Structure 1
Amino acid sequence: MSSEEPQPVATSGIKSFLSGGFGGMCLVAAGHPLDLLKVRMQTSTAYTSTLDCFRKTLAENGIRGMYRGMAAPLVGATPVFAICFWGYDMGQKIMRYTYNLSPTDKLSMNQILFAGGFSAIPTTAVMAPMERIKCTLQVSAASGSGAGYKGPADAAMGIIRNGGITSLFKGTCATLLRDVPGSVAYFGAYEIIKKTLTDQSAGQGSISPLAIVTAGGLAGMANWAVAIPPDVLKSRLQTAPEGKYSGVRQVFVEMMRTEGAGALFRGMGPALLRAFPANAACFLGVELSLQAMNKLW
């Protein structure tokens, strides 16, 4: 058995795009109920804990209510995560070009972290309006505001009627503020943990599903450990009535004045609970679909 580490397999942009989209669909299906609890806890003080939020949501809306607002992220998951993983691939290519590396040369950890942060830039353009619609739908039933929305399209039209087309992009800066450091932690943690758990002599195609699931789940938790404070600000900004806040800075100042620093970590429980299964499913979907495509072409 060779003791040399396997050389990385060069991945095309189209494969990264397609595998990322499939991974995103897996993530949404696995993690949406806990994402709903996270958003409701972030935007309301009516809940004392994650369990209290779950009980009240279940009592008010039933099991179907746990999937309220899922259509928007499910439809949006394919392009969002496709662009995210494509952006990560493009970030790696930028590093290879900058440092004159071949497509199969291994990247340093700093280069991987750059690629992770870079992935958030193109992703935000697509994610911000999707997040706006999702958060509006998730909060509407609990607050009574906009409870008549029939679905994502109706919610989008309501948002546009109330604030114009630019209102769909409310929270874009907050989304970027959340996703750049979050993506650095996300992809960095995944690569480190996957490498630690993988037998380097077994070959690139021999990464075990257990290693993928473990690395993906822990990477998701690392992401939210970094991203939860700006995510709270984003959720508050995106679900506030039109004109209440001028931007994310005002949300932060008011929150510090009225609720204190602890409010920045509201929803941490459901975010971390959701992060492991959702991102384990995401990376498993990405890796398995990528392996399947590599066999086909």
Structure 2
Amino acid sequence: MPAVPEIAPAAAAAAAVPAVEVAPSGFVKFAKDSFAGTVGGIAVTMVGHPFDTVKVRLQTQPTTNPIYSGAIDCFRKTLQWEGVPGLYKGVTSPLAGQMFFRATLFSAFGASKRWLATNPDGSTRQLTSADFFKAGFITGAAAAFAESPIDFYKSQIQVQIIRAKSDPAYKPPYTSVLDCVKSTLRISGARGPFQGLSATLLRNAPANSVYLGSFEVLKNRAAAHYGCEIKDLPAHAVLGAGATGGILYWLAIFPVDVIKSAMMTDSIDPAQRKYPSIPVAARKLWAEGGVSRFYRGFSPCLMRAAPANAVMLFTVDKVTHLLNE
């Protein structure tokens, strides 16, 4: 293995925490962030959606007489009952929403970093490691409003098979995401798609702080190690930073995601909901199985986290650098 060249302290510090320039055109920067995020979002959806389907189904299946004994059993039965398309149930919602959601996510992250790097007098400063985590927190809160409806429709479609297998008399109310959209708007109006928004906010802000913050910090440290600019990092360094960020995301907040899934897969009719709020959902889920109830679906989630987020963040990173050349 070739020796890593020694880096002067000043050069290493510059590589570790690069200055963030305020873009001359806010619209151009927004467009670049949005395009890069959209491409990355499509990549993560195609790679990670089957794992997400397994996760949501394990999280929301009944405690008594469960349909699946674990992640492998859920995967096998999904293929047996529905074929490969079953693993992609509800995928049209995240695919259709990728442009809006990823535009929000990565433009908010870029804007947050530029805002934190701008002093009151208009001059710029170098971002600290803490600043990246702050920017991730702001980004997560902003992106929750775009992500929540996407997750809601996806989850409603994903769990229909569970209800059909649990109750032979059950008739799936939706044949497509569009059917679900129409029903939700008819019953609850504009508030319908935001069922579970409170749990999404509670999940997203801290999770994206850890996720995006760690990704940026790890890239900076890798650049210092290799003695290069971030845009010149080898692929394995960026993929490793993305995979680590994805794993840390779920380690930080998985129980909150279980609560979110319970609320989003609940009845779209407010009068019939079992989990109308976070406290009620937490109490009822605890009653179903204590701590272990909040970790259903954890294994497929971690299996998805590394490859899906490595691919997405690598794609976003490379597309962003290409657009900025």
Is TM more than 0.5 here?
yes
Corresponding position: 1:85 with 2:102 = no
189, 194, 217: which one aligns with 1:192: 217
Residue 26 of structure 2 corresponds to none
Matched residue type, 2:301: A
The CA RMSD over aligned residues, in Å, is 2.0
Question: 2:45 and 2:199 mapped to 1: Cα distance?
Answer: 21
Residues 5-154 of structure 1 mapped to structure 2, 5 A cutoff: 5-6=14-15, 7-8=18-19, 10=21, 12-44=29-61, 45-98=66-119, 102-103=123-124, 105-144=125-164, 147-154=172-179
Q: 1:204: Cα distance to partner?
A: 3.4
Q: 1:9: Cα distance to partner?
A: 5.9
Q: 1:14: Cα distance to partner?
A: 3.0
Query: Identity percentage over the alignment?
Result: 27
Question: 2:123 and 2:38 mapped to 1: Cα distance?
Answer: 26
Q: 1:146: Cα distance to partner?
A: 6.0
275, 278, 283: which one aligns with 2:305: 275
Matched residue type, 1:273: M
Number of residue pairs aligned between Structure 1 and Structure 2: 294
Question: 1:29 and 1:37 mapped to 2: Cα distance?
Answer: 14
Q: For residues 108-144 of structure 1, give each alpha carbon's deviation from its aligned partner in whole angstroms, at most 9, with x where no partner exists.
A: 1211111000001221111111111000011112312
Question: 1:92 and 1:289 mapped to 2: Cα distance?
Answer: 18
Q: 1:56: Cα distance to partner?
A: 1.3
- Contact 1:24–1:82 (Cα < 8 Å) also in 2: no
Question: 2:322 and 2:118 mapped to 1: Cα distance?
Answer: 27
Residue 60 to residue 99, structure 1, CA distance change in 2 (3 Å): farther
Residue 281 of structure 2 corresponds to 251
Matched residue type, 1:230: V
Corresponding position: 1:208 with 2:229 = no
Residue 96 to residue 156, structure 1, CA distance change in 2 (3 Å): same
Matched residue type, 1:206: D
Q: For residues 25-73 of structure 1, give each alpha carbon's deviation from its aligned partner in whole angstroms, at most 9, with x where no partner exists.
A: 1111110000000000000142221111111111111111111111110
Residue 256 to residue 204, structure 1, CA distance change in 2 (3 Å): closer
Q: What is the DSSP-based 3-state SS (H/G/I as helix, E as strand, rest coil) of the residue aligned with 1:97? A: coil
Residue 290 of structure 1 corresponds to 320
Question: 1:263 and 1:283 mapped to 2: Cα distance?
Answer: 30
Matched residue type, 1:107: L
Corresponding position: 1:168 with 2:198 = no
What is the TM-score with the length of structure 1 in the denominator?
A: 0.92
Q: 1:98: Cα distance to partner?
A: 4.9
Question: 1:158 and 1:179 mapped to 2: Cα distance?
Answer: 27
- Contact 1:216–1:276 (Cα < 8 Å) also in 2: yes
Residue 260 to residue 99, structure 1, CA distance change in 2 (3 Å): farther
181, 197, 219: which one aligns with 1:156: 181
- Contact 1:9–1:204 (Cα < 8 Å) also in 2: no
Gaps of 5+ in 1: none
Residue 21 to residue 146, structure 1, CA distance change in 2 (3 Å): farther
Q: 1:99: Cα distance to partner?
A: 6.6
Q: For residues 123-175 of structure 1, give each alpha carbon's deviation from its aligned partner in whole angstroms, at most 9, with x where no partner exists.
A: 11111111110000111123126625232111111223344432211100100
Residue 273 to residue 258, structure 1, CA distance change in 2 (3 Å): same
